[in-house]
Structures are given as structure tokens and as C-alpha cells.
Amino acid sequence: MSSTGNKISTGFARTKQKIFTKTGHSEETIDVQYHYEKERLFSNEERFKNIQKNSEKLTKLIKELNKITVDIGQDACDLYETQDPLWTPGNKLRDIANDNDKHLLDYNENISEPYTKPLNNYISQYKEARKRTEQLTTRKVDMDRYKNEVGKLREKGAGSSSKAKLEPTEEKYRICKEGYDSLHEELLNDLPKLNEDKDIFIQYLVATLVKQQTDFYKKIAYEWSPMPGLTAHVDEYSGRDHQPVITSVERSAASINLRSDPVFKGNASIKQKQSAEYSSSNVEKDIHQPPSSSSLNLEKTPNPYYSPPSAPPMHHATSSATALYDFTGVDSSELSFRSGDVISITKAEGEWFEGFISYPDGTTVQGFVPANYVRLN
């Protein structure tokens, strides 16, 4: 049989043995002490891996902090002229961050020999021990499998077929048992040693980390030491009472709803104000002079060339918009709405969108929407 065929056959036999063991159709070799030490091994390995991962993360975070400090310093410098007293601390922030990058390089170099490399090597012991526990599991499955086969062959008696198979099967069982016993004994010796050794090894890591971190932050503190003197003339708590300098929302001209003026309540649509019905004589009049009743009485003297625009045809909404201000349409072609209303938009082009509002009672009102009164969602 080929090597590949042997591997497939062996893998199948091991899987079958595991199933027999789980279902109670075959005996399983169990060692409580070994399983206890193995679980301790896996738990300790996970903790050392977390220390390794978080040590790397700490370095990355410090590097990122330095980059952020450079950005803050640059923004501070951009806000001030070079002759301003606060330009100096802004510029100093960039220098501090650049110097801290150099200190970080020194820190990584200083912890390499007493911390980083020993930790990597120590974790490699756990990886190797884990591989050996996996090997022991495989040997146990093979040993139990051949032991089970030997028992079945002996039960069948001294038949020629059973007798021919019994001797080679017993030899396989003997080899697998010797291999299992030797590795099992080794692990029972090594795993407790490694599990107890962690208490000794971890003190080296803690001592190195404490010393090197202390030295690193002392250097950072030294870099920052001139900074308080550069801003001593500023009361940092004054910012709590600093008042806004722009016009308040309540008094701002932006808060006035121009469309609430009565002039927008007439019959003429705002979209028609540049149509032919306005003659040149209208333009020449003082725009601040109130119009006479005869010149603006559209109900009594309707323009024969004007007809109110019809509402836009209903289409499926392609987007939605939120009303920023109240709006009252001057005729049925314009959609009236309140600030905060959500409007379904069917066409968003130019200064006037097309859309509709669906109300809870099932009614839907459509019309033109002034683009500068809404914000597309």
C-alpha cells in the first residue's frame, strides 16, 4: 500500500477509535494528573501571549500619541503669528513629540535584551509543549485502538485467521504503548516544571518593564518641564466663562423666516416673478414704495397671460430631505411644510425640488420645494 494510502487508513482508524471511545464502545486511557497540568499549561501560555501582545500595543500607542501631539502643535502654530506668545508653546509641542519618538526608539532597544527576546523564547517553550501534548493524544488513540483490537482477536480464540493477525497487532500495540508511556512520563515531568517556573520568570519581566518605563517617562517629563512656564500667564479656567462673540441665534438675521412676509401670501407664484407680466415701468418704481391697490389688485384685474402652475406629477421618491425652516406655499403648486418635516424628494434639480409629504391620516400632498429651505438626507 502506498504512503498516501497508509495515511488515509491510519487517519480513518484513529477517527473510528475516537468515536468508539466517546460512545463507550472502547476503553480510553485517562490520566487525571496529566490533564490538570495540561490545562494549567494552556492557561499560562495564553497569559504570556497577552503580555507579549499588549507590550507591542503599548509601543504603538505611544508612537500614535506622539503623532497626535505633532498635529496639535502644528494646528496651534497655524492659529498664531510667530511673534505671538502662544506660538512658542505650539512649536515646542512638535519638538517634544519628535524628541519622544527618539526616546521611544531608545526604550525599545533597552527592553530588547532583558524583556522582548526572553519573552519570545519563553513562549516558544509553551508552543513546543503544546505540540507534544497533541502528539501524546495521537499516540494514546493508536495505543487504545490496538489494545482494543488485541482484545477482540483474543476473544475469537485460536482460529487460523485470528492467530495470524494477533501477533503483529500485539507488536503494534507494544510499540504504541512504549511510545505513549515515554512521552507521557516526559510531559508529567516537564509540564509541572514549566507551570511553576512562570513565577520565577515573570519577575524578570515585571522588573524590566517597571525600570524601563520609569526611565522612559522621566525623559518625557523632562521634555515637558518647560511648558508650564510658557503658558503661566494664561488662566486655564477662564475658558469656562468665555462668551460667544457672534450674534446669538435668537437675534440672528438667519433666524428670520422671510417667507412669512404677507407679500408671499399673494396668488402669484414666486417662480413666476421674472415672467413677462412685469413691465419696465414696474422696475423703474421705488421698490421701497408700497404698491397701490390698482397696480397690485390681481384678483380684480387678472393677467390674461398667466395661469397658476399645476403641481408636479407624482413620481417615486429617489431621496428624502429635512425641512430647515417653515415654508408656506403661495399656491397649490408649492408644498407647505414646517421645520423638521421629512419630505420625500422625487426630483432634486435647480432651485426648486419636487417632492411630497405623506401624513399619518393617509393623505399625501405634493408640490415644489425651495431647495434652500431643506437639507438632503
Q: Residue 77: pLDDT above 70? A: yes
CA–CA separation, 114 vs 318, rounded Å? 64
Mean pLDDT of the chain: 83
Task: Encode pLDDT of 209-268 as tens digits.
Answer: 999 999 999 999 999 999 999 989 999 899 888 899 999 888 889 888 887 777 766 544
Mean pLDDT to the nearest integer, 10-36 = 61
Q: 14 or 137: which carries more pLDDT confidence?
A: 137
pLDDT given at position 331? 86
pTM of this prediction?
0.58
Yes or no: say if 150 and 171 are a contact pair by the CB < 8 Å rule: no
Neighbour count for residue 283 (Cβ, 10 Å): 8
Q: Are 12-231 and 310-377 the same fold in CATH? A: no
Structural domain spans, the chain? 12-231, 310-377
CA–CA separation, 282 vs 279, rounded Å? 6
Q: Residue 288: pLDDT above 70? A: no
- B/e letters for 6-40, b = 16+ CB within 10 Å, e = fewer, are eeeeeeeebeebbebbeeeebeeeeeeebeebbeb
Neighbour count for residue 356 (Cβ, 10 Å): 19
Question: pLDDT band at residue 112, thresholds of 50, 70 and 90?
Answer: very high
Yes or no: say if 339 and 326 are a contact pair by the CB < 8 Å rule: yes
Residue (of 334, 339, 306) closest to 323 by Cα position:
339
Q: 269 or 358: which carries more pLDDT confidence?
A: 358
pLDDT given at position 376? 92
Question: pLDDT band at residue 191, thresholds of 50, 70 and 90?
Answer: very high
pLDDT given at position 186? 97
pLDDT given at position 303? 47
Q: Residue 138: pLDDT above 80? A: yes
CA–CA separation, 250 vs 303, rounded Å? 41
Helices (H) and strands (E) in the chain — how many of each?
A: 8, 5
pLDDT given at position 295? 41
| pLDDT cut 90: percent of the chain above it | 59
For 288, how many CA atoms within 13 A lie in the half-sphere containing its CB?
0
User: Grid coordinates representing 71?
Assistant: 498635529
CA–CA separation, 338 vs 261, rounded Å? 16
Radius of gyration of the chain (CA): 43
pLDDT given at position 163? 78
CA–CA separation, 223 vs 95, rounded Å? 9
Within 8 A by CB and 6+ apart from 50, the residues are none
| CATH entry, 12-231, from 3.30.70.1430, 1.20.1270.60, 3.40.50.620, 3.30.2020.30 | 1.20.1270.60
Neighbour count for residue 303 (Cβ, 10 Å): 14
- Which range of 26-40, 54-68, 314-328 scores highest in mean pLDDT? It is 54-68
CA–CA separation, 114 vs 198, rounded Å? 16
Residue 234 φ/ψ region, left for φ over 0, alpha for ψ in the -120 to 50 degree band, beta for the rest: beta
Q: Residue 11: pLDDT above 80? A: no
Catalogue the E-assigned strands of the chain.
Answer: 319-323, 342-347, 352-358, 364-370, 374-376
Is residue 322 classed as helix, strand or coil in its secondary structure?
Answer: strand
Q: Is the four-CA dihedral 283, 285, 289, 292 of positive or negative sign? A: negative
Is residue 279 classed as helix, strand or coil in its secondary structure?
Answer: coil
Neighbour count for residue 181 (Cβ, 10 Å): 12
pLDDT given at position 155? 84
Question: pLDDT band at residue 353, thresholds of 50, 70 and 90?
Answer: very high
Mean pLDDT to the nearest integer, 357-367 = 91
Neighbour count for residue 139 (Cβ, 10 Å): 21
Q: What superfamily does domain 310-377 belong to in CATH?
A: SH3 Domains (2.30.30.40)
Q: 131 or 296: which carries more pLDDT confidence?
A: 131
DSSP 17-70: HHHHHHTTSS-----HHHHHHHHHHHHHHHHHHHHHHHHHHHHHHHHHHHHHHH
CA–CA separation, 174 vs 168, rounded Å? 10
